[in-house]
Structure 1
């Protein structure tokens, strides 16, 4: 296999599939690196290997992924599954691990399409067996047609929480309750988003139908819940919360948590791409132009990793990034790039109409959570919220100092599970905005790899050799 490509695409979700397909269809040499077994990403996981029954259960939106994977397989793009990218350099070099072997390859351009992840929010008892992310359960349903057993409670916020609830109810799963942190009465601030949202009524009607279907089942559905906690002796037994002045409690074998999705930004932070804090949505995202270009000439960001917009928006962003890369490589002139992009930009605009209203309605509000001192924040290193508050009370004011002292964010997940809320807690304790608290530094390797695998890599004359990959990393 070659070690140099016109373009390397990292990720095979909606954005990665369309970007790879477009570039390969133009005759370019494209390599797509995917950590999963099959293309599709999280939203279209296992779609081209799903049984007819599962395709039907997952709905029309899921089946749309078949069009993307079919186009991708016909495009001529080279696909490497089970490939874990653990380092990317601005000069166009990528290191990845596959089947116990690490390789370094290069490209004229790199398109990063690693998508989004569920927003992790620690609650008391979230480390108990039986507590899972709703997205993980959805992934198991797509990958292996598995469903939860026993009594299930769903808690959190966001349209995907309600979607998962409706899917489970349709399968006949025993859903005990749906507990939303979403306010019972929306704030007047969302009214400004209503007129534009009415231009995208199709999406809104789907949501209303889903809510009606859930209501018909008679499952208890609470909004405005606070002080959510999982309780059990060795395993989950009960879910408790407060709704107004009422204390509610449900016996449960599983608690499925979901608090919306946020961009997966580790790879951009490792690269030291310019990042920006989105105050409304409370997440970090890389700074890009309308084509997905970052502050590095050879690095593009595409899909939900640049700001969560959903599957269709991610597809379109992948097309736009690919067109700009093709233009930079001299395959198409400016006028052709712009002509091909015009319809995609129009589709992206139309798709965005309901998004501000939905995002505002389900916005994450850290004020809804007390973050008790004895709650585990960093699962990898067993660091509690109280440990963080103690360090801050002693004069520490920056996230990476907190990390160095407590080891919060130093585990195998590199802060994926604790980092977002760590920023919120530090900022709250300092009475500051999250950007003032800083952003956790990410160093290679992005994912754990054996030292023997690193040592076995070929040393090359140009670039960084294996012995120096982790040297001179700034704080």
Structure 2
């Protein structure tokens, strides 16, 4: 295996697969890294080994992953699965851990296509066994054809919550209720987006059929839910919520929660990429040009990490990033890049027609969550919401100061599970905006690795040697 590549692609979802395939087809030396043991990312998880039944149940969007996988395998791109990337440097150096060994490799360009993750929202009881993300259950269904047992409650907001509900209903899973935090009466803010959304007829018809299937099933479906709680001592035994002035209560063996998806931005923040705040969807994403180039010449972003737009849009973004990287390598001239990009940009535009309506309809509203003082906010360090509020009340104004004092966000996940809510809580307590509160600083290693792996890495004359990898980095995040 080589230690230097023309391009390193991180991630094998739709963006990573298309970017890698495109570049390898042009004759470039490409390495694709992914921490899963099979290609596909979250949306196309295990698609190459899926049963015929699963392929049918998951729909044609899932089956599209077979075409991407086949193209990738034929492209000649080198692939390493079970490779956990734990450091990326703006000069094109990447460190990853695989099978107990850490390696450092370099590339002329790096395309980061890490996709999106479910938005973590701390509700009372969310640390109980039996509380899972709806996306995680969807992943288990794709990976091993598993389904929840016992009685299930689904709660939260977003189209993926309803999609998972429809899939579980089709499988015959017993669902006690669907509890949506989405308002029963949509905001007038969605109206300007309706005309353009009509152009995405296929997507809207699919959504209408999904809602019709849920209604036909007879599963109780509530909207405008607040004060969601998981009940139980050693595991989930029930779910409570408020709706239209009434208290709802259900016995349940499992609570599946989903509150939308947000970009997985940790690598970009580690690099010091300029980050932008999306106010309506309430998430951070790296600032890029139309080709996915960040503020660092050698670092590109592709897919949902640049703004959540869905699998098809991620695929197109991967193609665009690849075209620009190929142009930078001198493989294609600018006029050819632009010519090849033209139909892709058109497809990207058409795919995006329904997106503003969907985003407006399911726009997250933190006011609908109580964030009770006794609720655990940081799972890694067992920090409660009340702990954070107490520190803010004493005059602390910055997220990293809160982190230093409370250790919230200082655990192995580096704020993946608590960071979004931490920002909401600090901003609300201060009566200010989330950008004013800042972003948690991210440092290597991104994922926990044994120090013996780092010690065993060879010391090189260029770049950062193992002894310096964990030194404090200056704050580099732009707002």
Cα deviation code 1:335-361 (max 9, x no counterpart): 100000000000000000000000110
CA distance in 1, matches of 2:221, 2:126: 21
**Which secondary structure does the structure 2 equivalent of 1:319 belong to?**
helix
2:176 is aligned to 176
CA distance in 1, matches of 2:93, 2:55: 38
Cα deviation code 1:268-297 (max 9, x no counterpart): 000000000010110000000000000000
1:217 aligns with 2:217: yes
1:403 aligns with 2:403: yes
Q: Structure 1 residue 472: deviation in Å?
A: 4.0
1:439 is aligned to 439
Show the 5 A alignment for 1:308-347. Answer: 308-347=308-347
CA distance in 1, matches of 2:34, 2:130: 29
1:276 aligns with 2:276: yes
Unaligned ranges ≥5, structure 1: none
Show the 5 A alignment for 1:63-82. Answer: 63-82=63-82
**Which secondary structure does the structure 2 equivalent of 1:415 belong to?**
coil
CA distance in 2, matches of 1:308, 1:468: 35
**Which secondary structure does the structure 2 equivalent of 1:204 belong to?**
helix
**Which secondary structure does the structure 1 equivalent of 2:121 belong to?**
coil
Show the 5 A alignment for 1:145-224. Answer: 145-224=145-224
Q: Kindly tell me: are residues 235 and 472 of structure 1, through their superposed partners in 2, closer, same or farther at Cα, counting changes over 3 Å?
A: closer
**Which secondary structure does the structure 2 equivalent of 1:139 belong to?**
helix
**Which secondary structure does the structure 2 equivalent of 1:389 belong to?**
helix
CA distance in 2, matches of 1:399, 1:241: 30
Show the 5 A alignment for 1:371-410. Answer: 371-410=371-410
CA distance in 2, matches of 1:63, 1:197: 25
Q: CA RMSD in A?
A: 0.6
CA distance in 1, matches of 2:353, 2:325: 27
Cα deviation code 1:171-222 (max 9, x no counterpart): 0000110000000000111101111111111101100000001000000000
CA distance in 2, matches of 1:233, 1:423: 29
Deviates more, 1:51-60 or 1:264-273: 51-60
How many equivalent pairs are there?
475
Q: Structure 1 residue 474: deviation in Å?
A: 2.1
Q: Structure 1 residue 60: deviation in Å?
A: 1.4
CA distance in 2, matches of 1:21, 1:327: 15
CA distance in 2, matches of 1:17, 1:109: 16
CA distance in 1, matches of 2:50, 2:3: 33
Unaligned ranges ≥5, structure 2: none
Cα deviation code 1:417-470 (max 9, x no counterpart): 000010000000000000001100000000011000000001111111100111
CA distance in 1, matches of 2:188, 2:468: 55
Scaled by the length of structure 1, the TM-score of the pair is 0.99
**Which secondary structure does the structure 2 equivalent of 1:64 belong to?**
helix
Scaled by the length of structure 2, the TM-score of the pair is 0.99
Cα deviation code 1:243-290 (max 9, x no counterpart): 011111110000000000000000000000000001011000000000
